[in-house]
Structure 1
Amino acid sequence: MGRDEAVVVADGRSAKAYAREHIPGAANLPHSEISAESTASLDRSKHYVCYCDGYATEGVDAQVGAEITCGC
């Protein structure tokens, strides 16, 4: 990934946790809702980097593919 490539920070926690606090500018993309259907409208020219609280996130990459990197 180059310096000029677009990156979107995604908060993989619940909407409730996101509302409590989140990284400024982060989009809320709850890991429990990530699927091929729910991510169909994402801009594939951008890289999505997901952060979360580390609970129940196994399989996120397998469901969606390389478009989302979840380091939980």
Structure 2
Amino acid sequence: MSNPVTAIPPAPAAEVAAHYARRLAFETDCADVRAASETAAPGFVLLDVRGPQAYARGHVPGAINLPRGKMTPRRMAEWPAGTLFVVYCAGPHCNGADKAALHLAELGLPVKLMIGGITGWEDEGFALAEG
């Protein structure tokens, strides 16, 4: 007897592993960003891609405010080649981080999206920085 969960059988384990490994190449989460940020060398630059006013009201500690329109080749060249950028926006209801990630990738830069954005950060109970 099947139900909505079992009606379609699961993919083979190797396919499932490949799928989730690929997803993790594109995204990270708030807890991982926070844990990495607490180390001496987190290995990425965290970009808040919202507007300056939203950033000033509260942002992830250590994030740089850089809306997509200001991500010019000249500006991005301020970081060493190969720098990983992690982008976030307001939350799941906002696709600003997706657009920023696409833009950075089109510039040939390594990028990941921090899923959840500010909403996810606060849902985890993490404090925001102001200013």
TM-score (ref. length: structure 2): 0.42
Flag the structure with higher helix content: 2
- Whichever residue aligns with residue 41 of structure 1, its letter is E
2:107 counterpart of 1:67: no
**Which residues of structure 1 form unaligned runs of 5+?**
none
Secondary structure at the residue paired with 1:69? strand
Q: Distance in 2 between matches of 1:5 and 1:44?
A: 16
Give % identity: 28
Instruction: Name which one, 1 or 2, has greater alpha-carbon Rg.
Output: 2
RMSD: 2.9
**Which residues of structure 2 form unaligned runs of 5+?**
1-24, 26-35, 116-131
Secondary structure at the residue paired with 1:25? coil
TM-score (ref. length: structure 1): 0.68
Corresponding position of 1:43: 80
Corresponding position of 1:21: 58
Bigger mean CA offset, 34-43 vs 50-59: 50-59
- Give the length in aligned residue pairs: 71
Q: Distance in 1 between matches of 2:105 and 2:83?
A: 19
2:49 counterpart of 1:6: no
